[in-house]
Amino acid sequence: MKNSLPKLRPVLLLLLGLVLPVLRAAAQATSEPEMADTLRHDGKIYVVVAVITVVLAGLLFFLISLDRKLSRLEKEVKE
């Protein structure tokens, strides 16, 4: 566990760097044709974003665990 933290650092930094433009975009206010602005500001679009993120994270987690189980099984069969 101690060793996994430094390994994760580039991943976290990459994620942070990728999210920066989103923060900038969130700070900008615009007014033009009909778009889902209200949803974005006061509405509940963030709820949807959170839901999609959780669904995706869940599926990816499942894939990762499947991958790991497969690796373990591969090792077992090799022996």
Nearest CB to other proteins, comparing residues 2 and 7: 7
Name the minimum Å distance from CB 42 to other proteins: 14
Give the whole-angstrom CA distance, residue 71 versus residue 5. Answer: 22
Name the minimum Å distance from CB 2 to other proteins: 14
| Alpha-helix runs per DSSP H in the chain | 4-27, 37-41, 45-78
Give the whole-angstrom CA distance, residue 34 versus residue 55. Answer: 29
Site residues for other proteins per CB under 8 A: 7, 11, 14-15, 18-19, 21-22, 25-26, 28, 30, 32-36, 40, 45, 48-49, 52-53, 56-57, 60, 63-64, 66-67, 70, 73-74, 77
Name the minimum Å distance from CB 50 to other proteins: 9
Give the whole-angstrom CA distance, residue 75 versus residue 79. Answer: 7
